[in-house]
Copies of this chain bind each other. A is one copy, B any other.
Amino acid sequence: MKATILNIGDELLIGQVVNTNAARMSQMLIAAGIDVCGTYVIGDNADDISSYLLHCLERSDVVLMTGGLGPTKDDITKKTLCELFHSELYENAEALANVKRIFDARGYELTPINRQQAWVPRCCTMINNYVGTAPCMWFDVIDNGKLIIDNELPHNGSRPDNSQFSILNSQLKKVVVSMAGVPFEMVWLMENEIIPRLKEHFRTDQIVNKNLLVQGIGESFLSDLIEPWELALPKSIRLAYLPQAGMVKLRLTARGSHDERPLLEAQIAEAVKNLYPIAGQYIVGEDLESLPELVAYTMKRHGVTLATAESCTGGALASQLTAMAGASEYFRGGMVAYSNEVKECALGVKHETLQAHGAVSEETVREMVMGVRERLGADYAVATTGIAGPGGGTPEKPVGTVWIGIAGPQGVEAKLLKFGDRRAQTIERTCNAVWSELIKAVNCDQ
């Protein structure tokens, strides 16, 4: 079963907004056992919406559209679908109640323009958008050579009851869904309404995923080490190596028919169990997605606390940790010591150290990391100081020179890193190196 994604909006097309919806939707579809064959961005233009929708329907069983459902004139998706499917708009009572509820909660008056949000084509099944005012529309399309919308069947402008719905399903071949483009509305609709309905209608494959984070061994060495285990995996399981900064993510994916979920889960559990005797020493976490998640998991697992002292990363380390809920369980706080005076007064770096060795030096990073660990009373501390650029480099310390420090109960480690002259990349890579070294240190100590 295949899906295409059609994201509509001038703001996406001209690059004013990066299209994050496509990646998010792809992830959700693939996790549900639905293949994605393409994602498209087009503008708010009726000809393009019609022609691309037909193009996508030729190549896939489901077309998932986002955007163009607002109340202003430039949003034309609903009107275009209505014309394409030879239908007419009517005011849906359930959609209207939802729009009223949302306006009441915000204390706004419902204007005639906003009331139009509750109008939907008669030929669609209206799916209530609980977190926004634009209803989601589900079109059952019969694809017998040419495109025919299923509007001769007895919808009568109301949502069909379940018995009718099931009868219709047996005749269906393709589905078009149009939903709001606001990211959190799209996510709510996909998770709560669309994915469950697609699974029911198409009897999608069952997918069971398992991620294992591996650290301390290179991808090729790991591959050699676990080759016999990999060859012994059942045919239903695929193994993917996803190298990330400072670690390798191993993803096991089991795929089977809709009634095989218990079997697939048992196969994955067995495979993971068999991997531990071979490579368990390198497995640092299960079902985690990123290095900051692994840091949080590691600190909480060992019950230890952390503090940060940042110069060149400028708050990025602290920000990555606190973006995740529950950071207060292990994160004490941090200092962003951008100027030398702040390194002295807030972290206790000695004036003579800065004078003799400069802000970007092993001596300074050691005093920074010890200073913040002691002052914030944490078990572990990390520090960064470097020249992120593009200015500030010298022949001895060119742009991209970075010192990082890790302090723990066993002492202090400092490490020199060398990057290029791209500021954002230097900040990102420095963060990754810090997390990687911190996790190694904590796992080694505890």
Expressed in whole angstroms, the Cα–Cα distance for A24 and B422 within the complex equals: 17
Q: How large is the interface on A (under 10, 10 to 19, 20 to 34, 35 or more residues)?
A: 35 or more
Per-residue contact bits, chain A 266-308, to B (CB 8 Å; 1 contact, 0 not): 0000000000000000000000000000000000000000001
Segment among A31-39, A147-155, A217-225 that sits at the interface with chain B = A31-39
Cβ-based interface call for A123 (8 A): no
Which chain B residue lies CB-closest to A422? B184
| Interface presence of A15 (CB below 8 A) | yes
Question: 1/0 per position for A231-268, CB-CB distance to B under 8 A?
Answer: 00000000000100000000000000000000000000
- Chosen A-B contacts, 29 in total, with CB atoms closer than 8 Å, are A13-B26, A13-B36, A13-B38, A14-B27, A14-B30, A14-B36, A15-B24, A15-B25, A15-B27, A16-B23, A18-B19, A19-B39, A39-B40, A39-B41, A40-B41, A310-B318, A314-B321, A315-B334, A316-B322, A322-B336, A323-B424, A327-B338, A328-B338, A331-B338, A333-B335, A335-B346, A336-B336, A345-B376, A345-B377
Q: In the docked arrangement, what's the CA distance between A318 and B23, Å?
A: 28
Tell whether A72 is near chain B: CB-to-CB under 8 Å.
Answer: no
How would you classify the secondary structure of chain A's contact residues: helix, strand, loop or mixed? mixed
Q: Which residues of B contact A317 (CB under 8 A)?
A: 315
| A326: Cβ under 8 A from any B Cβ | yes
Answer yes or no: A319 CB below 8 A from chain B CBs.
yes
Residues of B within 8 A of A313 (CB): 319, 322
Query: Which of B52, B321, B339 contacts A333 (CB under 8 A)?
Result: B339
Pick the 6 closest A-B CB pairs, nearest first. A314-B322, A315-B318, A15-B26, A333-B342, A315-B319, A315-B315
A389 in the interface (beta carbon within 8 A)? yes
Q: How many copies does the complex hold?
A: 2
Contacting B at CB under 8 A, from A187-216, are: none
Cα distance A342–B18 in the bound complex, in angstroms: 37
Measured between beta carbons, the chain B residues less than 8 angstroms from A159 are none
- Neighbour of A342 across the interface among B41, B314, B319, B376, CB < 8 A: B376
Known: A17-B23, A335-B346. 20 other contacts (CB 8 A): A12-B23, A18-B19, A19-B23, A37-B48, A38-B42, A314-B323, A314-B331, A315-B315, A315-B316, A315-B322, A315-B334, A322-B336, A322-B427, A325-B391, A332-B342, A333-B338, A333-B346, A336-B336, A345-B376, A346-B375
Q: Known: A23-B19, A346-B376. Contact between A333 and B337, CB under 8 A? A: yes
- Interface residue? A160 (CB, 8 A): no
A43 touches B48 (CB 8 A): no
Is B427's CB under 8 angstroms from A323's CB?
A: yes
Residues on A lying within 8 angstroms of B by beta carbon are: 12-20, 22-27, 30, 36-43, 48, 52, 55, 184, 242, 308, 310, 312-319, 321-323, 325-328, 331-339, 341-342, 345-346, 375-377, 388-391, 422-425, 427
